[in-house]
Amino acid sequence: MKRERDLGKAETAAAGKMKIWGEGQPQADAGTDELFAVLGYKVKSSDMADVANKLEQLEMAMVTTMEDGISHLSTDTIHYNPSDLSGWVESLLSELNSTGNFDVLPQRIGVPGESSSNLIGFSNDMPIQQNRKVIYDYDLRAIPGGAICSNGNDEENPSQEPDSGTKRLRSSPGSEFLDNASLAAARPVVLVDSQETGVRLVHTLMACAEAVQRDDMKLADALVKHVGVLAVSQVGAMRKVATYFAEALARRIYKIYPQDSLESSYSDVLQMHFYESCPYLKFAHFTANQAILEAFAGANRVHVIDFSLKQGMQWPALMQALALRPGGPPEFRLTGIGPPQPDNTDTLQQVGWKLAQLAETIGVEFKFRGFVANSLADLDASMLDIKPNNVEAVAVNSVFELHRLLARPGGIDKVLNSINAMNPKIVTIVEEEATHNGNVFLDRFNESLHFYSTMFDSLESSGLTQPNSEDLVMTEVYLGRQICNVVACEGPDRIERHETLCQWRGRMNSAGFDPVHLGSNAFKQASMLLALFAGGDGYRVEEKDGSLMLGWHTRPLIATSAWQLKSPE
């Protein structure tokens, strides 16, 4: 039996114990210790040596301290992560060093509803006695899971024999001790089992953001490290989101701002992966195209101005729809706008060329013009060779571009005026549905935490791609860069200034635009498109005052809206 084997080796050094633990490695999940796993704690085997070392030190400290103890540990301890034995022990050690006191930790497993106690632990039947080797007997009944056995941490007393039938645990389960009273301000929660560490993680993130908001960088620093530790114990979406947010917070705390956006070709590649791994961009393209198609009905010459051409993925579908429309295709002119390339390659022309080839294949007359601009505000309508309304129908299309203009004062107004001057038949705007542009950092943080958690969740659950496939990973990087920008940057560098549809409505209204209802065709097509995606049942298309929103479960994430110039009174 494993237990006996472990007890028998109680006197071996921690390193020796490593082998025992190592032998019991489960095959799953990054080599967590099996014995701990049975108890509900995930400790990586790579961390075991560290944990064991610390426990040994702790034991030394414990047996040499006074009885009267650190009873305050039992009330102040906030258990964030039961699997973080290392961190817990370290905090205990530091506490011991400072107080020199120690007490047994009379603890019960916290149950929901106990709001004051922030503990998790085991009931302890035996009092500690001064200068005696300590035995902890814990009632492990409440731990979910099967066999309970000694975790072999029993280092303190090599010569002691276990009582038959008692299970000995050298240490109580990891309780994270945070040595700052202000943490009491963080919502105290009671951990019942390790699934709730996710909640802990979120609360720690929020506490860290609060600290940053108050400019308490020392605390924030401690907390952000803590988040990193906690995040490791999670899996899946929660882990990734927490890691990205922790990194962004760290950047903000240490003022290591991410260098100004990477090469645009890299960000294009990232967006392509985003395009392929989840339906958001496809939804955006298809719904916008439907609006444009309907606006172009009956026009013989059409001109589309795309505010961010990238790889031009939106336009093949529109061109095909135009090619097959009753009465034949119109002459199609596309103006693509893009950022300057660092190596001076003319990506815009390349994309234009490819679209031209497609157009030729399907029999649509096609012209292309590319404009390189650092910011949309640098352009104005006169550069774009706009033809009069009766000659050519104009559509302006912006997918995830307008919010960047909010970083500089006056940018958005200038652009909206330019759009006005272009005299468009229709303006299609797709934006993220979130308030990431508030003035208060903390609000932005909380908002973006919810938003990106939902996004990552949808990636995780969609089942579209294999986990860690290139698409998924790159998509996460893509989203991670946005997170970093929202959290860590300020001023003109903070370009991911997402606003909600309501806010955009207000702006468009004051800029002289009236909403155009996206018809039922767009809705049907969008619903069908989503049904095609595995996990399509998690995605929701909602119609709101004529605009369409795509969300994950109950949370809308992106919104497509269409606009036309206000008719003159």
- Asked if residue 8 binds another protein (CB under 8 A), the reply is no
- Asked if residue 540 binds another protein (CB under 8 A), the reply is no
Residue 299 or 419: the one with the smaller Cβ distance to another protein is: 299
> With CB under 8 A as the contact rule, which of the stretches 178-186, 264-272, 430-438, 440-448 interacts with another protein?
264-272
Residue 83 or 462: the one with the smaller Cβ distance to another protein is: 462
Question: Any idea which residue has 């008719």 for tokens?
Answer: 567
Residue 169 or 530: the one with the smaller Cβ distance to another protein is: 530
> With CB under 8 A as the contact rule, which of the stretches 44-52, 396-404, 411-419, 468-476 interacts with another protein?
468-476
Q: Provide the 10 A C-beta neighbour count for residue 372.
A: 16
Sequence-separated (6 or more) residues with CB below 8 Å from residue 533: 278, 279, 462, 464, 539
CA 50 to chain centre: 30
Find the binder of another protein among 219, 272, 516, 550 (CB under 8 A).
272
The distance of closest approach from Cβ of residue 538 to another protein in the complex, given in angstroms and rounded to an integer, is 14
Find the binder of another protein among 102, 122, 138, 286 (CB under 8 A).
286
What is residue 440's three-state secondary structure?
Answer: coil
Cα dihedral sign for 56, 57, 60, 66? negative
- Asked if residue 321 binds another protein (CB under 8 A), the reply is yes
Give the pairing type, strands 547-552 and 366-372.
Answer: unpaired
Find the binder of another protein among 317, 373, 442, 477 (CB under 8 A).
317
Cα dihedral sign for 282, 288, 289, 290? positive
- Asked if residue 262 binds another protein (CB under 8 A), the reply is no
Q: Provide the 10 A C-beta neighbour count for residue 382.
A: 10
Sequence-separated (6 or more) residues with CB below 8 Å from residue 563: 426, 427, 428, 429, 508, 513, 514, 515, 516
Sequence-separated (6 or more) residues with CB below 8 Å from residue 341: 263, 264, 265, 347, 372
- Asked if residue 524 binds another protein (CB under 8 A), the reply is yes
* Residues binding another protein: number (CB under 8 A): 43
Residue 69 or 352: the one with the smaller Cβ distance to another protein is: 352
Residue 515 or 536: the one with the smaller Cβ distance to another protein is: 536
- Asked if residue 357 binds another protein (CB under 8 A), the reply is yes
User: What are residue 387's DSSP bridge partners?
Assistant: none
The letter for the amino acid at 25 is Q
Q: What are phi and psi of 287, to 5 degrees?
A: -70, -40
Find the binder of another protein among 145, 328, 340, 506 (CB under 8 A).
328
Find the binder of another protein among 414, 525, 555, 564 (CB under 8 A).
525
Q: Which H or E element spans position 417? A: helix 411-422
- Asked if residue 531 binds another protein (CB under 8 A), the reply is yes
- Asked if residue 477 binds another protein (CB under 8 A), the reply is no
* Cα separation values, 415 from 127, 183, 396, 438, Å: 74, 46, 11, 21
- Asked if residue 532 binds another protein (CB under 8 A), the reply is yes
Residue 199 or 323: the one with the smaller Cβ distance to another protein is: 323
The letter for the amino acid at 135 is I
Sequence-separated (6 or more) residues with CB below 8 Å from residue 166: 137
> With CB under 8 A as the contact rule, which of the stretches 96-104, 387-395, 410-418, 528-536 interacts with another protein?
528-536
Q: How far apart are CA 59 and CA 111, in angstroms?
A: 28
Question: Which residues in 241-260 contact another protein (CB under 8 A)?
Answer: none
The distance of closest approach from Cβ of residue 11 to another protein in the complex, given in angstroms and rounded to an integer, is 53
Could you list the residues that contact another protein (CB under 8 A)? Answer: 268-269, 272-273, 275-276, 282, 286, 289, 311-313, 316-317, 319-321, 323-324, 326, 328, 354-355, 357-358, 361-363, 464, 469-471, 474, 521, 524-525, 528-529, 531-534, 536
